[in-house]
Each structure stands twice: as C-alpha cells, then as structure tokens.
C-alpha cells in the first residue's frame, strides 16, 4: 500500500472543486481540509482533543522549530511527532504533515549562506550554526515521522515586499531580516524578480531530485508521502515550467508554494487558478500558507484540497475572532456587557458556553483562557467553512 | 428551602472524618471537597469543563479581584459568576463559593487604613481607592451570586512570618507589603501577637454581626448561604472563644480561617484538630486556604469537609507536578527522554495522553500548554486524594 491514497468522493460540475478522501498510515482526512498549525508540537494553548473536536482531521508541524528544539532525534526516540504530541485518537497518532523547514530558515533564521547545496543559518534560539540541505530535510522529517512530508524548496519573496513574508511560523519571534523587510518595504526591478524566480525554480527542481532520491533510499517511501512543491512566483510561465517538471516525479501529492508571501489577493488567485489544473487531478493538491477566506474559497473552486495557516490561532491570541460578518476585536470596550456569543448560531464549544463579555474580561485581566477560547472558536470557524 | 442543605452520608468510626453531601441552589458537592480557585473568573488556562472533568464539583471565586475588575455590578448584570464563567453543566451554572475579599486586601492591596468600620485600600491594578466593609463585602458577593459566601473577617498574620502570608490569590502580583514580609521575616513578641489575635477576634465577631444583618436584609438569605469564620491564630483559647460566639449565629456552615498564614504544619494541625469539633457537626466545615496533602488529610480526620488552595494550578504553571511520591519538577533535564506519564497509573487526561518528555519540551519552548497540562494533572491529583 502506498503512503497516501486518494479517493474522489464528489466532483463539482460548475468548477474544479471536489471532495476527496486522503488516507495516510495514521488515518484519513476529508477535503477541503484546513490543517491547524502546531509550530512547536502544539496548537498554542489547545489540547489536541480540543483541536480534533473543532473538526480538524490533519495538522501541520514545523520542521524548523522542532529541529532546533527539542531535535528530531529525540522525537524519533519518543515514537514520532504524532503520538508524542498526543495527536490522534489511537496510540499511534493521527494524520500529520510537516513542512521542509526551508521557509522558516528564510523568515526566522539568521541566514548565513544559501547555495546550490542548501542553506546555512544561525538558530534564532541560541545562535548555533545549522545546515539544512534536501537530504537533511528529508532525514529530519523522517525522524519526526509525519504522514506527509514536503520537499525542500527555494521560495522567492514577492516582487513588492509590502508586508512581512508569509508567516507560517506560529511564533512571536521575528528575525532581523523579517523586521527589516517590514520596516523598509522594497520593490524589486522586474528583471531582478524574474531572475530570482528562475533561480529559485531551478534550485527547487534540483533539490526535488535530491529529496526524492534521499527519501527513496530511506526505506520510508511507503510510510511517509513526499509532496513536490511548485514555485514560480507570480510568473505564470514559470509556474507552468515548474509544474511540468515537478509532476514528472511519481509523487503522492503536490503543493503550490511561494504564494501569500507578500503579494495581493488578485495575484494569489491568478497563480492558484493557473497552477492547480496543472497538477494531477488524481492526487491531493495543497496550497501552502494561504489563510484568508476569500483566497481559500477561490482555491477550492480551482481544485485545491488542502490548506494550512496560523491565522486562526494567531488572531485568536490577539482577541480577533473570525465571524461570518468579518473579524471582531474582542478587546473593544463595547463588548464589556455584550451577553452574546462570539458568533450567534455557531456550534462551537466557546459559542455554546461563553459570552463576548466574559471573553473580553479574560483579555482585560491577561488571562490566557481568553486567547484559548478565541483560538478554539476561530479553528472551528475555519472547519465550518470548509 | 434553605440556601444550603447538609446530608451526612457516612461517619468514620475511628475518627471525625465523614462523607457529606452539600446541596446548593446550583447543585451538590460531595465531601471531602477540594475547590479549585478561579481568581479572576477562571481556573488559569483551563476550560470549566476540563476542571469539572477532574472531579471538581464546586469552585471558589475571588471577590477582591472581581470587585476591581470587571466589577461585581457587571457580573450581576450578566447573570452571575457561575453562568458568566461557564461553570456548571446547566445554563444557571454550578456550585460556587466566593471569599469575602478581606484577605486579599491585606495581602495584595495597598492598605491605607483599617479600623472597626472596615478597610480602605488602593487597587493593585490602577491605584483607585476602595473601601471594603462587612456590608460592602456582602453586597459584592450578592452581586457575584455565588452559592456560598463568606463573612468579612480580620485575619491576623502568624506570629513568625517565615514565609509570605497565605496566598489565596492565584496571581503573580505581589504587593510591596507582601514582598517586604518575605524579604525581612519578623517575629512578633508574644504579648503583641496575643493582642493582635484578640483584636482580630473581636473585630471578626462584630463584623460577623453586621454581615448577618446585611445579608438578611438583602433578601438573598435563602439563595446564598453565609458561612461564619473562626479566627484566633494559634491561640487555642481564642479559637474556643471565637468558635463559641460565631456558632451562636444560625448559619448554614462554618469555616476555620487564619490558618496557613505562615505558621508550620504542626501548628496548623493543632489549630484544626482543636477547632473543627467546636463547629456544629450537622453543618459543613471549611478549612480556608490549606493545600498540602498532609494538612488536608489531618483536617479530614478532624471532621473538615471543604478545602481550597491555589497550589495545584500555581505549581502546575511552574512545571511542578504532584504525584503520590512527591513533587516532580518537569523542567528537569532528566525528563527530556522520559516516555512515562507524570504519574504512572493516574487516570487523568494528561497522564493518559502525554509523556514527561513532551511536557518538558513544552516548558522549554515556553508553550502555555505545558502549564495547562500540569495544572490539569495536579487538579485531578487533588480530586483523587479526596
């Protein structure tokens, strides 16, 4: 049996949207699937059962953070990330995906060097110098033991860095590089951007060859499904080129990377609608790090099956709740005596038991339960939408 | 029907220990009962259902903290502390007790004045000057709406202040007075201590008269049971004197206060074994703020029914777990690769699902789930012991 099996449950007639069941060694998930992010081996403040109760069937771990602390060897020794973190109803754990660690090296690590072999960086925790290569990323992800592992890729920034690069790390840490990017937005010249995208694509493809070889040699090919990643920035020709090459590998799933790294919603949509149909229709498609509802809905219509983002928990900890009528800021004084739940009619545990008044009080009193409750609601809100 | 009914289920033959069912307007609790403390309207980091799942049937709120923020009027407007905080299985909420606020005024407030009328203090949050009197304490507790409310008393410190005064506030805040006490321990002269205890007793008794009158006049007498408090320090004659006077009021329950304020375990035991039998055997007996197992066990044998303390959650947040073989510090490096649960054989959700290795990682990574998990285990440990 392959590491990942794909079963089409229903195909929408008016769009590319579909319902798929993706089955891994640790169980199945039904798509469209939103994966909560557990950066350091936990969805911040939430017991895994509470995450499962929101409807999540698969979660995403962060290779970069776990590699630095506590180290992937330790997690392997403890039986793998799924059971160690208590994710899943059985002793063996539930479905999980890890990223390659590459993206966080760029956004959080103190990057020393990047070349065709891989990257060298200093840990944001203790300054230790660490090298990450395609082979090392595969080894670390094999030690973590997730059901779906991601190829090590080179993700170019957006041409216009209006905002921070996509934050897939659910962490308050910001590297000097990230801060610099947010403080002094830069616009790359078109020719420079084109060169950077081409370079990233070529590197991504060469690194994918090495990831495939390393993962095949590990003996874990039939236990952990390796997904290839299509880069190409906002250049649709480069997207076509990369998708064509990546899908020449017989992999159990494919991802669209390098999206939501600073570009606007229109560009995200253009790239996703162009790229998704280039990926095999009989394999899961994963759009990395895209978390706003409008973008997710457009991507589902384009045929994307899987999503992940830190927005539900990060916003939750900041007292920002997602509702069907938009974001509400629960610290606002007008909620002090509001007896209504966050979202009237919501079926989540939070909305069934707690008022806006109480949740606002928790934030005023710096009680961590405030962030916990809004994170839980937000996670349920995402699961309800999909 | 009275606010509190008492039903003896079983009387131990070799000691004063007994099993009692205490019934309030919002449900019952079976004793010996340990009440988790929700200082600011929440057991820190825990959903109320998780607290109930540990076996807790009644919880304690803090009048001082809630009076300052968000204010008892607001909580009254929102329907009362039980339902506002989501405590209890029904819409109306579950059994709850509030203290009088007096103790925290002494330990946390910036005390400006204490006289026979009451106390004046500055809020530790914003410096606002606030007066608390027996009548105001009753009013605030009536607005909070707990099932059991406590008389406003004068609690003298221990003769030898070796440690901080009893910390019943589950809060990191320490007032300058508290810090001063811990930095420069003082020993009161015996005559000074005797005078302070006598003064406190007389004040406690005069204030109790006023509490009873105010609560009777409120119209809430049959909804909220007022417990009288016996003071007297470590002076057993003063304990007898105070118990004799306090129990002349026809109240639905009585408490032993002024214990665990800095004195040793032997003195605690001496006071409790002396005082408990002086309280009516057909009413609940509550020992305030005593949280160590040895002291609780001795008190149960002496006939005490109810307990509260912040130790399970405060220690939990500091990675200190209670086990049958003593406290273990989960930040210790030796637990890094320890696959065992906190306490092998424990039936709690934490011990069934998580290893010491994982919990240590959470503390190393500053993940709030670490404190949440150990708090949950500790609360279950307390409930299992009783």
From first to last of its 386 residues, chain A has per-residue pLDDT tens of 799 999 999 999 999 999 999 999 999 999 999 999 999 999 999 999 999 999 999 999 999 999 999 999 999 999 999 999 999 977 788 999 999 998 888 777 777 788 899 999 998 899 899 999 999 999 999 999 999 999 999 998 888 865 444 443 444 333 334 434 444 567 899 999 999 999 999 999 999 999 999 999 999 999 999 999 999 999 999 999 999 999 999 999 999 999 999 899 999 999 999 999 999 999 999 999 999 999 999 999 999 999 999 999 999 999 999 999 999 999 999 999 999 999 999 999 999 999 999 999 999 999 999 999 999 999 999 999 88
* Residue B166 clears pLDDT 50, i.e. is over it: no
Q: Is B99 one of the annotated active-site residues of the chain?
A: yes
Q: What angle do CA B321, B325, B326 make, to 5 degrees?
A: 45
Could you report the predicted ipTM of this complex, rounded to two decimals?
0.94
Query: Chain B closest CA to A154's CA: distance in Å?
Result: 27
* Residue B377 clears pLDDT 90, i.e. is over it: yes
Query: Chain A closest CA to B324's CA: distance in Å?
Result: 24
Task: Say if residues B97 and B150 touch (Cβ distance below 8 Å).
Answer: yes
Q: Which residues of A are catalytic?
A: 99, 308
Disruptive mutation site among B124, B367, B377 for chain A (greatest number of A CBs within 10 Å):
B367
The answer to whether B78 contacts A337, with C-beta atoms less than 8 Å apart, is yes
Q: Is B115 one of the annotated active-site residues of the chain?
A: no
pLDDT of residue B184: 54
pLDDT tens, residue by residue, B195-237: 999 999 999 999 999 999 999 999 999 999 999 999 999 999 9
Query: Chain B closest CA to A377's CA: distance in Å?
Result: 13
Q: What is the mean pLDDT of residues B21-44?
A: 96
Report the mean per-residue pLDDT for chain B. Answer: 92
Disruptive mutation site among B89, B173, B353 for chain A (greatest number of A CBs within 10 Å):
B353
pLDDT of residue A90: 73
pLDDT of residue B112: 76
The answer to whether B358 contacts A78, with C-beta atoms less than 8 Å apart, is yes
Disruptive mutation site among B36, B43, B47, B371 for chain A (greatest number of A CBs within 10 Å):
B47
pLDDT of residue B104: 85
* Residue B183 clears pLDDT 80, i.e. is over it: no
pLDDT tens, residue by residue, B341-355: 999 999 999 999 999
pLDDT of residue A179: 37
- Cα–Cα distances (Å) from B154 to B130, B132, B134, B258, in that order, read 17, 12, 11, 9
Q: What is the DSSP letter of B156?
A: P
Residues in chain A: 386
Contact residues on chain A for B361, CB-CB shorter than 8 A: 40-41, 69-70
SS3 string of chain A?
Answer: CCCCEEEEEEECCCCCCEEEEEEECCEEEECCEEECEECCCCCCCCCHHHHHHCCCCCEEECHHHHHHCCCHHHHHHCCCHHHHCCCCCCCCCCCEEECCCHHHHHHCCEEEEECCCCEEEECCCCCCEEEECHHHHHHHHHHHCCCEEECCCCCCCCCECCCCCCCCCCCCCCCHHHHHHHHCCCECCHHHHHHHHHHHHHHHHHHHHHHHHHHHHCCCCCCCEEEEEECCCCCHHHHHHHHHHHCCCCCCEEEECCCCCCCCHHHHHHHHHHHHHHCCCCCCEEECCCCCHHHHHHHHHCCCCEEECCHHHHHHHCCEEEECCEEEECCCHHHCCCCCCCCCCCCCHHHHHCCHHHHHHHHHCCCCHHHHHHHHHHHHHHHHHC
Is domain B5-31+62-309 in CATH 3.20.20.105, yes or no?
A: yes
- Kindly list the domain boundaries of chain B, sorted by start residue: 5-31+62-309, 310-386
Q: What angle do CA A185, A187, A190 make, to 5 degrees?
A: 165
Contact residues on chain A for B375, CB-CB shorter than 8 A: none
pLDDT of residue A21: 98
The answer to whether B336 contacts A40, with C-beta atoms less than 8 Å apart, is no
Residue B354: both structure tokens together? 């998580």
């Amino acid at each position: 049996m392959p590491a990942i099996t794909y079963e089409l449950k229903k195909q929408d007639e008016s769009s590319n949207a579909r319902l798929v069941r993706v089955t891994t060694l640790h169980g199945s998930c039904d798509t469209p699937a939103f994966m909560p992010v557990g950066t350091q081996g936990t969805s911040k403040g939430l017991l895994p059962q509470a995450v499962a109760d929101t409807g999540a069937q698969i979660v995403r771990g962060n290779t970069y953070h776990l590699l630095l602390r506590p180290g992937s060897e330790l997690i392997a020794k403890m039986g793998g990330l799924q059971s160690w973190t208590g994710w899943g109803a059985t002793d063996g754990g539930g479905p999980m995906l890890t990223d390659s660690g590459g993206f966080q090296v760029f956004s959080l690590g103190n990057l020393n060097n990047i070349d065709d072999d891989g990257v060298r960086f200093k840990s944001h925790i203790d300054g230790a110098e660490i090298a990450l290569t395609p082979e090392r990323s595969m080894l670390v992800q094999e030690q973590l033991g997730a059901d779906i592992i991601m190829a090590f890729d080179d993700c170019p920034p957006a041409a216009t860095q209006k905002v921070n690069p996509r934050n897939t790390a659910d962490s308050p840490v910001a590297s000097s590089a990230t801060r610099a990017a947010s403080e002094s937005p830069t616009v790359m010249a078109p020719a420079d951007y084109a060169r950077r995208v081409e370079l990233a694509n070529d590197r991504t493809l060469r690194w994918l060859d090495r990831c495939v070889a390393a993962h095949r040699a590990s003996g874990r090919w039939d236990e952990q499904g390796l997904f290839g990643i299509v880069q190409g920035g906002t250049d649709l020709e480069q997207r076509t080129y990369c998708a064509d090459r990546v899908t020449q590998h017989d992999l159990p799933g494919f991802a669209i990377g390098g999206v939501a790294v600073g570009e606007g919603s229109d560009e995200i949509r253009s790239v996703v609608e162009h790229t998704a149909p280039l990926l095999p229709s009989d394999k899961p498609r994963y759009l990395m790090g895209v978390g706003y509802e409008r973008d997710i809905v457009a991507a589902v219509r384009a045929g994307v099956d899987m999503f992940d983002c830190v927005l539900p928990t990060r916003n939750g900890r900041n007292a920002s709740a997602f509702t069907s009528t938009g974001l509400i800021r629960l610290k606002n004084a007008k909620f002090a005596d509001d007896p209504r739940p966050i979202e009237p009619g919501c079926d989540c545990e939070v909305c069934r038991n707690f008022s806006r008044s109480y949740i606002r009080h928790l934030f005023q009193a710096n009680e961590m339960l405030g962030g916990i409750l809004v994170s839980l609601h937000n996670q349920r809100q995402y699961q309800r939408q999909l």
